Amino acid sequence: MIPIQELTQNERPGGMGTTVMSAEVVFGAPSADCRGVGICRIVPPKECMPCPCLYAPVKIGTLPVGGGLKLTLDKKDCPDVVRQQYFNTKLLLINEPFPIADDLLLGLGLPAGRKGKAGVYRMIETTDCYEWEFVLEE
């Protein structure tokens, strides 16, 4: 059983850090050409167009404490096929580390080359959006 990857309660403030950027999350697995479950990669806006992969626009920001990232997907921007395939549970399984575009990392004040860590992450659903807090690999 893969443990749920989440920041400790002390590291879970309510919001993001001061820098928040627009991005696109591409769903699937990096080794499976974006098929399967999880997150394949996170890229700058419009980089996926046109793209046969399932993707959605998100806001990405650092968490004020703990060095993780928070993704926020506005429900009105979420394609139905993405909602049906990925948001029918409160957990998101990520089988392997996923790349995050260096432009986004540098814009968030993080070193280039960092990846999202594999694991099981809790989804927080609000009236307007879906949110995840991710741990980065060292």
In the predicted structure, residue 138 carries a pLDDT above the cut 90 = no
Start-to-end CA distance of the chain, whole Å, equals 22
Alpha carbon dihedral 95, 96, 102, 104, in 10-degree steps, equals: 20
Among residues 83, 64, 50, 74, which one has the least CA distance to residue 11? Answer: 64
Report pLDDT for 98: 92
- The answer on pLDDT for 135 being more than 50 is yes
pLDDT for residue 92 is more than 60 = yes
Domain layout of the chain by residue ranges? 18-134
State the Cα–Cα distance between residues 25 and 30, nearest whole angstrom.
12
**Given a cut of 90, is residue 115 above it in pLDDT?**
yes
* Separation between Cα atoms, residue 94 and residue 117, nearest integer Å: 8
pLDDT tens-digit map of 40-77? 889 998 776 666 778 888 999 888 777 789 999 998 98
